[in-house]
Amino acid sequence: MIPLTRPDGSSFLVNPDRIEFIEETPDCIITMADGKKLLVRESANEVALRFRTYQKSIRLPETRFGGRRRSDPPAAHDPGAYGHPSRAHIRLAPSADREGGQGR
């Protein structure tokens, strides 16, 4: 959500993913996907800047698909790395391919 200001000075939050387009006449008018129009004090450039900042905050450059972030604990701290008395130990069944034998 991005914070915006109504002409009367009150603040509200807008889901930027629902913004269809922004018009900058003397006033800034935001048209939402459902057709609703919002009049705000901020300029179109300011709304666009807040939108980009929001997008960057949810898609951090340090994250990789399926990978670790620099802020994550080390892999040695993963739950699978240590035993737990009430957790069943799951092991892969031996496979003929892995054992060097014939496949099925």
- Where on the phi/psi map is residue 100: left (φ > 0), alpha (ψ -120 to 50), or beta? left
- Determine how many CB atoms are found less than 10 A away from the CB of residue 33: 11
Closest CA to 13 of 40, 52, 33, 48: 40
pTM value?
Answer: 0.56
| Residue 20 CB neighbour total at 10 angstroms | 12
Q: Which candidate, 24, 22, 28, places its Cα nearest to that of 5?
A: 28
Question: Do residues 57 and 49 lie in contact, with contact meaning Cβ atoms separated by under 8 Å?
Answer: no
pLDDT string in tens for the chain (104-residue length): 899 999 999 999 999 989 999 999 889 999 999 999 999 999 999 999 999 888 877 776 555 555 666 776 676 666 555 555 555 555 556 666 655 555 55
DSSP 70: T
